[in-house]
Chains A and B, each alone.
Chain A
Amino acid sequence: MSNAMLELILKATLDTLYMVGLSGLVAAALGVPLGVMLYITRPGQVLARPLTNRILGIVTNVGRSIPFIILMVAIIPFTRLIAGSSIGTNAAIVPLTIAAIPFVARLVEGALNEIPPGLIEAAQSMGATPYQIIVKVLIPEARGGIITGLTITLVTLISYSAMAGAVGGGGLGDLGIRYGYNRFDPLVMLITVVILVVLVQGFQSLGDALVRRADHK
C-alpha cells in the first residue's frame, strides 16, 4: 500500500472524528436542554406546560422521522447559511447535528423517566425552585443515563457520517465507498471497516467507564 493511500486513510479518520466530535458536542449542548424541557413541561411535572410540551414533542418526532440522507439534501440552504458552503466536511456537520439533537433529546428524556418521582417531591418539600430541581436533582440523578445516551448518539453519528460523502464530505465512510467499493479495492474497504469498528468500540468503552464512575445506584 502506498504512502499516499495511508495518508488518505489517516485524513479520512481525522475527518470522521472531527465530524462526529463537533456534531456530537453541539447536539449534546442543544439536545440535553431539549430533553429536559420535554420532561419537565409534561402535565403534572414541575414546569407543566402541556401546549409547549406537545409542540416540542411533535418537532422532535418530525426531526427523528426524516431519513438522514434526505435530511442532508433537504436542508442544503440552511447548511449554506451556517457553514458557508453546501459541500465538504464542514457542510456535513450541519445535518449531522440537526439529526442528532432530537435523538439526544429523546434519550435524555428516557434517562429522566428513570428518576423516582419521590426525589422531585422531596426537593419540592425542601423549597427547591424548578431551576434548582433541574440542576441539583434531575441532571445529577440521570447522569449515568445521559452519558449512555450520548454514547449511543456518538456511535450513531459515526454511522451517519458515512453518508457525508453524498454532500462531498470526507471521512472513512466516503473513503470506503469511493476506494473500496467504486474502485474494487478490498484492502481499503477492510481497513476502513476495521478502523470504524475500533472507533465504535473505543467510544463505547469510554462511555461505559464514565457511566460506571457517574452511577452510584
Chain B
Amino acid sequence: MITLENVSKTYGDGNQAIHALKPTDLHVPQGAIHGVIGLSGAGKSTLIRCVNLLERPSSGRVFVDGQELTALSPKALNQARHRVGMIFQHFNLLSSRTVFANVALPLELMGVPRREIRERVQPLLELTGLTDKLDKYPAELSGGQKQRVAIARALASRPKVLLCDEATSALDPQTTTSILELLKDINRKLGLTILLITHEMEVVKSICHRVGLIAGGKLVEEADVGDFFTAPKTRLGRAFLNAFLELDPPQALLERMQAEPGEHTHPVVRLAFRGDSVALPLISRLTRDCDVDVSILEAKVESIQERTLGLMIAELIGTPDRIGAALDYLNAHDLQVEVLGHVQRNA
C-alpha cells in the first residue's frame, strides 16, 4: 500500500548539507500497522512527511496504493492526498471551527455538497465517540478529545492510508491507551493501512504489526513486532528494548560484577524466553538435570501481540563444568542467553 524506493532527503548543499534521511526503502502492505521508532532527530518525522510529500524527497520514488506520488502534478497530488489521512502530535485543529466543522473541512476542500457532508461527518463522530461534542470548539476539549477530532477529520475523505506523526506523544498514558485502541479499531473495521512514527516502545508494542528502527536517517532494523521485542538485531534495538523492559541487573550487583570469569566466580545471565520455550519448565529442569542452583534476581513477563516474552536475570551457581553444561542446555532451546558478567561466589 505504501512503498518508498530509495527515498532520501537532504537539506542545504555542499559542506552544509544535512542528510535528514539517507536512501531508504520501505514497504507497508495493505491493512498493516507499521511503526517506525527512533530517538528525536533520527529522521522519523522526515520519513513520514515524505510519504505524502509534505517534504519533497531529494531523490527516490513514493508509491501509495499503486500510484507514484512523486510523479504527480501539484493538482493531481492534491487529489491523491485525499486518500492519505494524517494526524499530528499537536492535533493541528482549526481553532475557529467547531468539532463538526473541523471534521467537515477535508470534505469542503473536496467539494462535497453540504448535505452529503452532514451525512458523512455523523458516522465519523460516532466512531470516534464525539457525538455530544459536535458544537464545541477545540479550546473546550481535552488533549485526547482533540486527537479524536483529528482522527475523525483524517478519516473524512475515506483514505486508504493513515499517517500518524507522534500522535500520542502529547498525551498522558491513559489517554494514549484509548487513542491507540481507537486506531486499532479503525484498522480492523476499515482495513486502513497505518504508518506511525513514535519514540515510545509502548505504542509499537500495543498496536504495530511490524516495526522499523531508524537512526541517523537510516532504517537500521526491520522486523515483526514479536521478533523485535524478543530478539532485536542491533545494539540500538536492544537498548530500546532494555529501556522499555527496565530489566537491568540491580545496581549493587553491577558494582560487584566483573567482565571475565575468575577462580571463584559464577555467571550472571539474562535469559529471554520466547516462542515455545515460554511454556517449558526450563528452570526446574536446569536445577534437576544439570545440577546447578539458579538464583533469580529479576524476572518479568510481557505479552506482545499474541506472543509471550519472559525475561529473567539470574545467577547460575555450580562447578564450572556444570555451569558450562547448563549454558549448553539453555542454548539448545529457543532461548536467548546473554552472560552479563561474573560475580564472586561468596561475596
Bound-state CA distance A214–B92 (Å) is: 19
Task: Determine whether A182 belongs to the interface, using a CB cutoff of 8 Å to chain B.
Answer: no
Q: Which residues of B contact A132 (CB under 8 A)?
A: 109
Contact A116 B90 (CB under 8 A): yes
> What sequence of 0s and 1s flags, for each residue 116-158 of chain A, a beta carbon within 8 Å of any chain B beta carbon?
1011011111111100100011001101000000000000000
Contact A141 B96 (CB under 8 A): yes
Contact A143 B78 (CB under 8 A): no
Interface residue from A118, A125, A214 paired with B81 (Cβ < 8 Å): A125
Q: Could you list 5 further interchain pairs (A-B, Cβ under 8 angstroms) beyond the known A124-B81, A140-B97?
A: A124-B54, A125-B54, A127-B77, A141-B94, A216-B95
Bound-state CA distance A214–B96 (Å) is: 8
Q: Which residues of B contact A122 (CB under 8 A)?
A: 86, 88, 92
Contact A127 B110 (CB under 8 A): yes
Bound-state CA distance A143–B94 (Å) is: 12
Which residues of B does A touch, CB under 8 Å?
Answer: 52, 54, 75, 77-82, 84-86, 88, 90, 92, 94-97, 105-106, 108-110, 137-139, 153, 157, 163
Interface residue from A119, A125, A140, A141 paired with B86 (Cβ < 8 Å): A125
Contact B78 A140 (CB under 8 A): no
Q: Can you list the 4 inter-chain pairs with the closest CB atoms, starting with the nearest?
A: A127-B81, A122-B92, A127-B78, A216-B137
Which residues of A does B touch, CB under 8 Å?
Answer: 116, 118-119, 121-129, 132, 136-137, 140-141, 143, 214-217
Q: Which residues of B contact A217 (CB under 8 A)?
A: 95, 139
Contact B94 A126 (CB under 8 A): no
Q: Closest CB of chain B to A5's CB: distance in Å?
A: 48
Contact A143 B96 (CB under 8 A): yes
Contact B78 A129 (CB under 8 A): yes
Q: Which residues of A contact B106 (CB under 8 A)?
A: 126-127
Q: Closest CB of chain A to B149's CB: distance in Å?
A: 12
Q: Which residues of A contact B75 (CB under 8 A)?
A: 129
Q: Which partner residue on chain B sits nearest A137 by CB separation?
A: B94
Bound-state CA distance A132–B74 (Å) is: 14
Contact A141 B95 (CB under 8 A): yes
Assuming A128-B78, A129-B78, A217-B139, is B108 touching A136 (CB within 8 A)? yes
Q: Which residues of A contact B78 (CB under 8 A)?
A: 127-129
Contact B96 A118 (CB under 8 A): no
Interface residue from B84, B86, B92, B137 paired with A116 (Cβ < 8 Å): B92
Q: Which partner residue on chain A sits nearest B98 by CB separation?
A: A216
Interface residue from A124, A127, A129 paired with B82 (Cβ < 8 Å): A127
Q: Which residues of A contact B90 (CB under 8 A)?
A: 116, 118
Bound-state CA distance A124–B96 (Å) is: 18
Assuming A140-B96, A216-B139, A217-B95, is B109 touching A127 (CB within 8 A)? yes
Bound-state CA distance A123–B85 (Å) is: 11
Contact A140 B94 (CB under 8 A): yes
Q: Which residues of A contact B84 (CB under 8 A)?
A: 125
* Most chain B beta carbons < 10 A, residue from A116, A122, A132: A122
Bound-state CA distance A214–B94 (Å) is: 13
Bound-state CA distance A214–B157 (Å) is: 28
Bound-state CA distance A121–B105 (Å) is: 14
Q: Closest CB of chain A to B212's CB: distance in Å?
A: 21
